């Protein structure tokens, strides 16, 4: 149906309606290629030129949809952090929240994070100011507390974010693999990644796997002798 002419000053409302309609179409079709400016315009009840008044092209529209999606992830990561007793548990909970959020709306996550990236897009800007920053802040706090070794917090956070994204991407793209309890699986992986930073700091970043095993055995033996 043709939309009535909007009153002056209602551009922001129309923009939100365009984003809502695009989100609905993405969830219904499951693929960005199935969504066009024309189909969005039809869903909203406006002409295609009205869409271009707010978004330069389809890529800009999809970027805006995904950026808004990650704003909601930002809120979720803040919520789970408030319920944790320590910083290391905050970091683990943030990683789990990331995976859980991706699985709730896999179509949007696939479009936002599993397609070809464009540096400087709204998606990247939003991630740099929300979800990733929360993880980096947690890493910085762990370094300040002496739990994580001194180092580049950005790199450590990227390593942990890579783990969270890898789990999310595989659970979405290969749900038929024998994951078992998905929540428990994601939790084990995030715990291993978070604690692995501690172990690497204790043993040394340059230690190989075998050397790490030997040093850990040495530490365990020394502790055992202490309490005999």
Environment class of 19 (CB within 10 Å of its CB; exposed 0-12, middle 13-18, buried 19+): buried
Helices 209-226 and 182-203: crossing angle in degrees, nearest 10, is 80
What class is the 66-226 domain?
Answer: mainly alpha
Give tens-digit pLDDT for 87-124: 999 999 999 999 999 998 888 888 878 876 666 666 67
CB 66 within 8 A of CB 111: yes
**Residue 215: per-residue pLDDT:** 83
The residue ranges of every structural domain in the chain are 1-55, 66-226
Give average pLDDT by consecutive 10-residue segment, the chain, 228 residues.
48 89 88 89 93 91 86 86 92 94 87 73 68 91 94 92 94 95 96 91 83 85 77
**79-97 pLDDT tens trace:** 888 889 999 999 999 999 9
pLDDT of residue 2: 47
Please give the Cα distance from 83 to 37 (Å, whole number). Answer: 42
Residues 165 and 186 sit within 8 Å (Cβ to Cβ): no
Residues 61 and 76: beta-carbon distance below 8 Å: no
DSSP string, 138-154: HHHHHHHTTSSPSS-HH
DSSP secondary structure, 72-133, as one string: HHHHHHHHHHTT-SSHHHHHHHHHHHHHHHHHHSHHHHHHHHSS---TT-HHHHHHHHTHHH
Integer Cα distance of 41 and 160 in angstroms? 40
Task: Determine the length of the chain.
Answer: 228
What gap in Å lies between CA 228 and CA 44, rounded to an integer? 74
pLDDT in tens, 157-175: 999 999 999 999 999 999 9
Question: Do residues 74 and 134 lie in contact, with contact meaning Cβ atoms separated by under 8 Å?
Answer: yes
Q: What is the pTM of this model?
A: 0.79
**pLDDT at residue 126 in the model:** 62
Give the separation between CA 171 and CA 169, rounded to whole angstroms. Answer: 6
Pick the CATH number of 1-55 from 3.30.2290.10, 1.10.10.60, 3.30.40.230, 3.40.1170.20: 1.10.10.60
Task: Please give the share of the chain, as a percent, with pLDDT higher than 90.
Answer: 50
The pLDDT, as a whole number, for residue 7 is 47
């Amino acid at each position: 149906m043709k939309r009535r002419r909007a009153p002056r000053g209602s551009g922001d409302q129309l923009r939100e309606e365009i984003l809502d309609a695009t989100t609905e179409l993405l969830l219904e079709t499951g693929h960005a290629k199935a969504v066009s400016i024309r189909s969005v315009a039809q869903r909203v009840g406006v002409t295609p030129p009205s869409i271009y008044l707010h978004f330069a092209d389809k890529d800009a529209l999809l970027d805006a949809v995904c950026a808004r999606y990650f704003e909601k992830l930002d809120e979720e990561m803040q919520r789970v952090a408030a319920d944790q007793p320590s910083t290391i548990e905050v970091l683990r909970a943030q990683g789990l929240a990331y995976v859980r959020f991706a699985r709730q709306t896999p179509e949007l996550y696939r479009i936002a994070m599993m397609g070809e990236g464009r540096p400087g897009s709204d998606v990247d800007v939003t991630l740099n100011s929300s979800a990733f920053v929360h993880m980096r802040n947690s890493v910085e706090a762990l370094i300040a507390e002496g739990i994580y070794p001194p180092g580049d917090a950005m790199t450590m956070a990227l390593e942990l974010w890579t783990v969270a994204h890898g789990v999310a991407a595989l659970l979405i793209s290969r749900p038929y693999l024998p994951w078992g309890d998905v929540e428990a699986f994601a939790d084990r992986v995030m715990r291993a990644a978070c604690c692995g930073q501690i172990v690497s700091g204790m043993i040394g970043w340059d230690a190989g796997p075998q050397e790490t095993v030997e040093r850990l055995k040495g530490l365990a033996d020394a502790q055992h002798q202490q309490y005999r």
